[in-house]
Amino acid sequence: MRSLSRERKLIKRIRKKGHHDAANELVSMYYTDLLRYVKLKVADEELARDLTQEIFIHMLESIRSFDEKKASFRTWLYTIASHRVIDYFRSKAYQQAKKTRAIDVDDRQSEDFTAQLFRSFEVDRILEFLQTFQESEQQIVRGKLLQGERFVDLAKKMNMPESTVKTKYYTTIKRIRDAWEVDGHDE
């Protein structure tokens, strides 16, 4: 349980001397609750941890501006957190991630097909068929499905835009699926 007098003492020590131990203790008093709050907003564990760290850094950098007559420390801290989460949702990184997720969701059928396809016992026939495709298409499909590589990593390795890698991947999977279904292998 947080003690308001302890909290005030820690804030005072941080303001006066930039006391490292006091800062650590103040952060640890709120870390779990704030992380939980941020996770509810962004629904991504790693991102929530990064944002929470940024929130505490901002809190420590601006603690001299905290005025306990205007708000409690907790309210002030959660205001910083809310603003940081809003800033994230306005950022280019979020907008790009949102576009990438939209492409992935649109092609969920392709993913379902590929999971089903590569679990089947005819993987060898499919890999043989894949050899009839361009080398870059083969490399992308093998990297993604057999080695579990991410699109961004494949794009870097192949020195091409991530959007091109995704387009080639989904186009190749669709061609394989269409040929597979025409050949009578659909379930």
Q: Tell me if 79 sits within 8 A of 86, measured CB to CB.
A: no
Spatial distance between the Cα atoms of 155 and 166, rounded to a whole number of angstroms: 9
pLDDT reported for residue 85: 86
122 shares a domain with 83: no
Give the model confidence (pLDDT) of 74-127 as tens digits.
Answer: 999 999 998 888 888 777 666 666 655 555 554 555 555 555 555 444 566 677
User: Final residue of a domain: which of 36, 57, 90?
Assistant: 90
Whole-prediction pTM:
0.51
pLDDT reported for residue 36: 93
Asked if the structure places residue 144 within a domain, the reply is yes
User: Final residue of a domain: which of 65, 90, 115?
Assistant: 90
pLDDT reported for residue 110: 54
pLDDT reported for residue 94: 60
User: Final residue of a domain: which of 40, 55, 90?
Assistant: 90
Give the model confidence (pLDDT) of 172-185 as tens digits.
Answer: 888 887 776 766 55
**pLDDT over 80 at 51, yes or no:** yes
Measured in degrees and rounded to the nearest 5, phi and psi for residue 109 equal: -60, -40
Could you tell me the maximum CA-CA distance found in the chain, to the nearest angstrom?
77
**Alpha-carbon separation of residue 98 from 24, 58, 104, 139, 162 (angstroms):** 35, 26, 10, 26, 14
